[in-house]
Amino acid sequence: MHVTKRFFAMNALALLLSLVVTALAVLVFVASYTKLFGREADIHEWKRVFEARTGISEIKREALTLEFERLLEQPYQHTLSDRVKALGAHAIVLKNREVLFATGPFSAMDIEKSLLLTAGEPNQDTLELDGKTYMFDRAAYKLPSGEDGLLLLLAPVKPQTDFYWVVGLFTAGFFILVFMLMNLWVSYSFSRGIILPMTRLRSAAAKISEGDLDFGIAEEGEDEVRELCRTLEFMRLKLKESVYWQQKYDENRTFLVSSISHDLKTPVTSIKGYIEGIIDGVAKTPEKMTEYLETARNKAVLVNTMIDDLLLYSKLDLNQLPYHFEKSDLAGYFEDCVADYAYEYRQAGISLELINELKQPATVFMDRERLRRVIQNILDNAAKYADKANGKVAIILRETRTTAIVEIRDNGQGIPEKELPYIFDRFYRVEASRTNTDGSGLGLAIAKQIVEGHGGSIWARSDAGEGTRIMISLNKA
């Protein structure tokens, strides 16, 4: 429910509950109060007063249907006397203020006073005589002689004010107390559902504004507040992601700048050196000049490849290259690879074989072209760092329940154990390889990016002097 609606509903409920609880409490209070103080008579008193009131007004009504002379007759006065006695009331018959008949011992003063009071206000139906309260009713007659006749009926009422005061005070006090408690409850439940989560949200927002994005915002509180929590958490994640990518861009740019100034500088300097050698006449013979130019060209090709690799790596790192995955048969794919490399390897005097240990054909989702870049670099490395007369390279295909594992094993110089963890880092080249300028050290870094882009992983095992095993695991389709 909408918070405002809920707020009103809860307040209304609190009010209603307070009223109901107060009503019940008053009932219980009145019951126990009358029990305790012997006031059960009060209820009867009420009844009696009611009966007296209806009784005297009936007598009055009846009397008015009669002639005033009838009121002076003995039989009527007897019945009147009995009837008012039964009601606990009194009757007085007057003619021109002179008492002709009275059922009670009223003084002349009392009668004067009651005549005065009963003749006035039409809405008033009680009067005080001698400290007692009476209800009254009167039947007035105009006699043919011009005189005034009057039947005055007086019924005493016990004053109940104390009791009503107590009940009234109790009702008001109890209602205020209950209503306050209910309000406290409404406030508490709202503070729990809105104010507390809001406070937490505010401190979360403050944290975010200070750049701290490493915390989760829990969803709590009322519906709207929960939604706000969710939105803020979403915002935090988005912000975190954008900060991550911002850092990544910055890192990448620094990386490109530093690699251009550092790694590309060496081959460019040497190209410059060879060309200056020719210009300055250091290379005198045409053979020497050809040799210098040849070297300069090779270096230029290397610079070109390095720049390509650098750009490729940077794009892969920034997730800027889309993959085109397709379902491919693993064995078929590697048969093609082996066929493509057969000639090159034969020329280098290295044997290349495919060992398929798959029990049944395995298919994986792969970007065939990108993956080819990976295999190419690993096979290039195997040939480049072969260093033995009978170089042997094998591609072995295996599988687990969910993954296909490709191992590319060579029997070359191997990689020292302490260097193994770093060979997938960009620009990392094993100590011994650094003298060999042919290579940028990006090959395996690119391979790692691509394999991870496939959701797979790549790692290496090696025994120095014995050879290297590069493993790739790819998820089966």
Ligand X SMILES: Nc1ncnc2c1ncn2[C@@H]1O[C@H](COP(=O)(O)OP(=O)(O)OP(=O)(O)O)[C@@H](O)[C@H]1O
Q: Examine residue 385 and tell whether it contacts ligand X (CB under 6 A).
A: yes
Q: At what angle do helices 286-317 and 443-453 cross, to 10 degrees?
A: 30
**Residue 413, interface with ligand X (CB under 6 A)?**
yes
- Per CB under 6 A, contacts with ligand X among 273-302 are none
Which of residues 316, 430, 451, 474 is near ligand X by CB under 6 A? 430
Q: List phi, psi (to 5°) of 95.
A: -135, 120
In the complex with ligand X, the residue whose CB is nearer, 197 or 443, is: 443
Site string for ligand X, 298-327 (x = CB under 6 A): -----------x------------------
Of 95 and 429, CB closest to ligand X: 429
Here the tokens at position 90 are 């009194």
Query: How far apart, in whole angstroms, are the C-alpha atoms of residue 384 and residue 450?
Result: 21
Rank residues 51 and 407 by Cβ distance to Mg ion and give the closer one.
Answer: 407
Question: For Mg ion, which is the closer residue by CB, 6 or 370?
Answer: 370
Closest distance to Mg ion from the beta carbon of 458 (Å): 13
Question: Which of 197, 221, 267, 441 contacts ligand X by CB under 6 A?
Answer: 441
Give least dist CB 266 to ligand X, A: 13
Tell me the per-residue interface mask from 353 to 382 with ligand X, x by CB under 6 A, - otherwise. Answer: ------------------------x---xx
Cβ nearer to ligand X, comparing 18 with 440: 440
**How does DSSP assign 280-295, residue by residue?**
TTSS-SHHHHHHHHHH
Q: 391 with 363: CB under 8 angstroms?
A: no
For ligand X, the closer of residues 179 and 428 by Cβ is: 428
Binding segment for ligand X (CB under 6 A), chosen from 69-77, 97-105, 258-266, 409-417, is 409-417
* SS3 state of residue 474: strand
Binding string, 117-136, against ligand X, x = CB under 6 A?
--------------------
The tokens for 413 are 């110089």
HSE-up of 278 (CA within 13 Å, CB side)?
16
Of the candidates 47, 74, 51, the residue with the CA atom closest to the CA atom of residue 155? 51
Piece of 257-265, 266-274, 442-450, 451-459 that binds ligand X (CB under 6 A): 442-450
**Nearest alpha-carbon partner for 376 in 443, 455, 470, 326:** 443
Of 414, 426, 406, give the one whose Cα is nearest residue 462: 414
Tokens of 365: 């989702």
| Residue among 190, 174, 317, 158 nearest 244 (CA) | 317
Minimum distance from residue 412 beta carbon to Mg ion (Å): 12
- Complex with ligand X: residue 229 or 271, whichever CB lies closer: 271
Edge to edge, what strands does the sheet with 392-399 contain?
Answer: 351-356, 392-399, 403-410, 467-475, 457-463
Nearest to 476 by CA among 368, 365, 397: 365
Nearer to Mg ion, 251 or 438 (CB): 438
Q: Which is nearer to ligand X, 277 or 439 (CB)?
A: 439
- Determine the longest span between alpha carbons in the chain, in angstroms: 173
Q: Using CB under 5 A, pick the residue from 443, 468, 470, 473 that binds Mg ion.
A: 443
Q: Considering only residues 371-410, where is the footprint of Mg ion by CB under 5 A?
A: 377, 381
Q: How many CA atoms lie within 13 A of 429 on its CB side?
A: 17
Q: What does the block give as tokens for 189?
A: 């439940």
Within 211-367, residue ranges assigned H as helices are: 223-262, 265-279, 286-317, 330-348
Sign of the torsion angle spanned by Cα atoms 376, 377, 380, 386? negative
Task: Name the minimum Å distance from CB 440 to ligand X.
Answer: 4
Nearest CA to 193 out of 218, 221, 220 is that of: 221
Nearer to ligand X (CB atom), residue 319 or residue 436: 436
Q: Give the separation between CA 9 and CA 59, rounded to whole angstroms.
A: 54
**Contact 367/325 with Cβ under 8 angstroms?**
yes
Residue 471 to residue 406: CA distance in whole angstroms: 6
* 443 makes contact with ligand X (CB under 6 A): yes
Q: How far is the CB of 433 from Mg ion (least distance, A)?
A: 9
Q: How far is the CB of 306 from ligand X (least distance, A)?
A: 7
Helix (H, G, I), strand (E, B) or coil at 396: strand
Binder to ligand X among 141, 391, 410, 472 (CB under 6 A)?
A: 410
Minimum CB–partner distance for residue 416 and ligand X (Å): 9
Structure tokens at 355: 């060992």
Strand ranges inside 80-125, DSSP E: 90-95, 98-102
Residue nearest to Mg ion (CB): 443
CB under 5 to 8 A by kind: which of ligand X, Mg ion, none does 391 bind? none
Q: Which residue's CB is nearer to Mg ion, number 468 or number 473? A: 468
415 in contact with ligand X (CB under 6 A) = yes
Contacted by 92, from ligand X, Mg ion, none: CB < 5 to 8 Å by type: none
> CB 312 → ligand X: shortest distance, Å?
11
- Residues lying near ligand X in the complex (CB under 6 A) are found at 309, 377, 381-382, 385, 410, 412-415, 423, 428-430, 433, 439-445, 468
The residues binding Mg ion (CB under 5 A) are 377, 381, 443
